[in-house]
Structure 1
Amino acid sequence: MGADAASSSPYIRSRGEGEAAVQAAFPGAIIIRPAVMFAPDDSFLTTILRLLRRLPAVPIFGDGRTRLQPTYADDVAAAITQILLQSKKPSPIYELAGPRVYSYEELLRTIARTAGLRPVLMRMPFALWDAVAGVAEILPHAPLTRNQVELMQIDTTASDNLPGFHALGISPRSLEEELEAMLKQSK
């Protein structure tokens, strides 16, 4: 999610232009737009957990109100399989998002609560995040990029007018349930 050929952000715009280029080059191509994905040992949820556990105060993007709808990676894989196996003509675009929309701050608090943590959250303006990301991009394995900061400034939630998990007969799993299972396995 987060592809928009009309965006003022070069990164977000290029994602939208990429979709259009694929559809032009491969008529009938199916575009899959997953929300941010989580899974055991991923770089999203495990990174957030590590920060919540280690930092005395956790910086959050902007005012923490950006909305996102994380989805479980296995559910996305099941949806792709279902799309490939269905006998009817598939939709040209699917948006695959989890069952709950969170603000970024709600997401951090939910993850912390599920893990038994009580973090101090600190709001940081996007301009500061952009500067930090600019410096971080110099590193060999940048922990943060300006593209990620740009994405955190827009809501990445499923559209009401595009098919997703429900159209494929899939009930996406909740972040809380999967996180609880991951935490039990790691103990």
Structure 2
Amino acid sequence: MTVPDSSRRLVTVFGGSGFLGRYVVRALAQRGYRILVAVRRPDLAGHLQPYGTVGQIKAIQANLRYRWSVDRAVEGADAVVNLVGILAPQGRQSFEAVQAFGPRAIAEAARGAGITRLVHVSAIGADAQSAIGYLRSKGLGERGVLETVPEAVVMRPSTLFGPGDGFFRRFAAMSRLSPVLPLFGSGQTRFQPVFAGDVGEAVARGVDGLARPGTIYELGGPEIMTFREILERVLAETGRRRALLPLPFWLARTMGRVLELLPGAPLTADQVRMLERDNVVSEAAAAEGRTLAGLGIAPTAAEIILPTYLSAYREYGQFTQIRPGAQP
């Protein structure tokens, strides 16, 4: 792969301080890009500085609800990346504001600045007609981006994994405290977990101009797993035995509607509905090369990455095999 000289090029990354953001910023920094990380709280983006050289990465304040701050963030940029997303609404951070209106605002700002290289991260299953609020807003966001900047590239990853993820770690943490783990439905919903580092590389290649303009890519890992298999993998990596308690979807949705009324809700009805849907790369995307492989990236296996951080949830951490009083 030939990477263009990027030492003088500036990339604005919206939402770059989040879980996926660290992988995207690192991939861009390794290429030599100068990076503006546009976030609501620049003071919480300091962890990104070690990924680049002095002055290479700078955090600035921007809020998608205030268009002037979006316009300011893209001034002088050569490319724009949008990673902003939420799993559940909270206060003024609604799906409509963040994932439907926000991407169009970013695209309009980019177009106004003469920028056509725009990479937008969405999600597998995004559909503007979906009855699920999360997926509907993702679909509307994609529509707004591609209508405004037809040359934009959309990346739809499956469930992300990697140090700091919010999916595998959630169930690993639950296994510490609970004798059972919830098996939603029959546990047969399929997922294609993808390493966040591979998605970060895919986004960077989009910024490099190595992705097809105006194309929606679907990014999944090398293995398709059912929800049951995911829980079993988590238990194997954490060295714990826990019962898997079948939880009918109708009951889980009811629980979600109650729990979503709480601050920092651990589960929402929307999230349950998404657990009812397969989350895998489509046959069409695979046939047309709109995947990691189509971008020249070999997907990283979960079995390589999961032990590097799920070991923290074992009884004795990475030293689980060393019992108290035993000699190493």
What TM-score does the superposition give when structure 1 sets the normalisation length?
0.90
Residue equivalent to 2:228: 105
- Asked if residue 173 in structure 1 is aligned to residue 300 in structure 2, the reply is yes
Residue equivalent to 1:48: 171
Partner of 1:114: helix, strand, or coil? Answer: helix
CA distance in 2, matches of 1:53, 1:88: 42
Q: Check 1:65–1:87 CA distance in 2 against 1; reply closer, same or farther (3 A cut).
A: closer
The number of residues matched between the two structures is 187
CA distance in 2, matches of 1:25, 1:150: 30
* Bigger-Rg structure (1/2): 2
Checking the alignment, whether the CA contact within 8 Å between 2:190 and 2:278 is kept in structure 1 is yes
Residue equivalent to 2:187: 64
Residue equivalent to 1:96: 219
Partner of 1:161: helix, strand, or coil? Answer: helix
Q: 126, 151, 158: which is aligned to 2:249?
A: 126
Instruction: After TM superposition, list the pairs within 5 Å mapping 1:8-27 onto structure 2.
Output: 8-27=131-150
1:17-43 Cα shifts (integer Å, max 9, x gaps): 332222112212211101111121222
- Of 41-50 and 6-15, more deviation after overlay is shown by 6-15
Checking the alignment, whether the CA contact within 8 Å between 2:150 and 2:214 is kept in structure 1 is no
Q: How far off its partner does 1:125 sit?
A: 0.9
Residue equivalent to 1:141: 264
RMSD of Structure 2 on Structure 1 (CA)? 1.9
Partner of 1:122: helix, strand, or coil? Answer: strand
CA distance in 1, matches of 2:191, 2:201: 21
Residue equivalent to 2:200: 77
Q: 123, 127, 130: which is aligned to 1:4?
A: 127
Q: Check 1:89–1:179 CA distance in 2 against 1; reply closer, same or farther (3 A cut).
A: closer
CA distance in 2, matches of 1:121, 1:31: 36
Checking the alignment, whether the CA contact within 8 Å between 1:69 and 1:156 is kept in structure 2 is yes
What TM-score does the superposition give when structure 2 sets the normalisation length?
0.53
Q: How far off its partner does 1:87 sit?
A: 4.8
**Equivalent position amino acid for 2:237 in 1:** T
CA distance in 2, matches of 1:161, 1:47: 32
Give the share of equivalent positions with the same residue, in percent.
36
Checking the alignment, whether the CA contact within 8 Å between 1:5 and 1:17 is kept in structure 2 is yes
CA distance in 1, matches of 2:217, 2:297: 13
**Equivalent position amino acid for 1:168 in 2:** L
Q: How far off its partner does 1:72 sit?
A: 1.1
1:74-122 Cα shifts (integer Å, max 9, x gaps): 1100111112214574461111111111110011112211222222101
**Equivalent position amino acid for 1:174 in 2:** A
Stretches of structure 2 that go unaligned for 5 or more consecutive residues are 1-123, 319-328
